[in-house]
Amino acid sequence: MNRRAALALPVVALPAQAQPNLAPLRQQARAFGRAFGAAIRSEILAQDADYARLFATEAEILVPEWEGKWEALQPTEGTFDLAPLRSIITAAHGHHQRVRGHALVWHNAMPEWLPRRLADGASAARAALETHFNTILPATRQAIRDWDVINEPIANAPGADNPQAGPNPLRESPWFRALGPDYIEHALRLARSLDPTLRLTLNEYGIEEATPDAEIKRNRLLALLRRLLDRGTPLDALGIQAHLQLRRPFDAQHFGRFLAEIRSMGLAIIITELDVREADQLPPDITARDNAVAQRVREFCSTATQAGCRTIITWGLTDRHSWLTQDRDVARRDNIPTRGLPFDTELRRKPMWHALAGVLSG
């Protein structure tokens, strides 16, 4: 085939293996003033050298998938264990990476003793919060300059998906029950007072797609953020988890307007936990499946970067170790492993990787 004929061929994505020379996402993002990161698990880091190498090469930011949660940090009351978190910090330093903290106030991954303590009432809850913050923030101050201080504070919309949901726009978590709606402001002020230059992030899910439930959640979140900022509460960024689902529609314009509203409040936007759950009815082959995932990632992430988001973090890097295949609540009912991350189980770049590369360097 002559050159002219070759050029006239339609543009098709080469398989990842055929493009070994493309720079890692970390470098591509950096060249455009952006950052790419991924959630990592310390026990796998210690056991799987290929996994460790992949994170060292591709990620600028590491997020502990479990090691920054209460269950990990304070398994028994008053006894702290920062060893797993430190192992991630050490790995990050070895490769000139940053670490994001996740998560200081959340209703999940609570050690067994904590809900009991919170049920003792407001002053016990305040004391538990203070002890935890007073220990963790100074101890991680050198390494972690951005924490999810508040994780998932908004209640899901009442409806078919969630018949139990009440009218309260805030999730009735053990923190909410102990301290009322002000637990959020209290935690943010405490974090600011302990570390005045720490970036304070509020992180939420279920606010990305074009469904009535997501619209209700977005509106609840906007109302919460307005109220916090009106009261002078310290808050720097909104984390958008972005556990996307192909069974739900996405509307770039609508989501873009929501992001613009967030930005107009003076908040930064971070994509904190990106991954993709595939459709219930899968396309016929792996290529078509991977292209569908990549297409959604391209649409979603380009909407975010156009709105000024500079940081994209995926919830894991490889389908080899992903909560999408390992966690019963989010795994597929047909037991087919979800292909929702940028690398496959053999650590090969997938179309999702190329979609991220395109957006981060676009």
Binding site for ligand XIL (CB under 6 A): 65, 103, 151, 205, 241, 273, 323, 327
| Residue 193 C-beta: closest distance to ligand XIL, Å | 25
Helix intervals (H) in 9-119: 25-31, 42-47, 49-58, 70-73, 83-94, 113-118
> Which residue has the CB atom at the shortest distance from ligand XIL?
323
Burial 153-191 (b: 16+ CB within 10 A, else e): bbbbbeeeeeeebeeebbeebbbbbbbeeebbbbbbbbb
Pairing of strands 237-240, 199-204: parallel
Q: Which CB, 103 or 267, lies closer to ligand XIL?
A: 103
Least CB distance from residue 271 to ligand XIL, whole Å?
A: 13
* Nearest-approach distance from CB 327 to ligand XIL, in angstroms: 5
CB of 65 to ligand XIL, least distance (A): 5
Closest to ligand XIL by CB, 43 vs 81, is 43
Query: Cβ(307)–Cβ(246) under 8 Å?
Result: no
Least distance from ligand XIL to the Cβ atom of residue 72, Å: 11
Q: Nearest Cα to 98, choosing from 113, 83, 84, 88?
A: 88
* Residue among 34 and 41 whose Cβ is closer to ligand XIL: 41
| Burial class of residue 307 in the structure, from the number of CB atoms within 10 Å of its CB (0-12 exposed, 13-18 middle, 19+ buried) | middle
Largest Cα separation within the chain, whole Å, is: 79
- Reading the block at residue 333, the tokens are 């009912």
Question: What is the nearest approach in angstroms of ligand XIL to the Cβ of residue 130?
Answer: 23
- Do 279 and 336 form a contact (C-beta atoms < 8 A)? no
C-alpha–C-alpha distance, residues 246 and 209, integer Å = 10
Cα distance between the two ends of the chain: 32
Look up residue 3 and give its two tokens. 């050159």
> Closer to ligand XIL at the Cβ: 36 or 205?
205
Q: In the complex with ligand XIL, which residue's Cβ is closer, 67 or 185?
A: 67
Closer residue to ligand XIL (CB): 70 or 353: 70
The residue type at 192: R
Closer by beta carbon to ligand XIL, 58 or else 148: 148
Q: How far is the CB of 223 from ligand XIL (least distance, A)?
A: 21
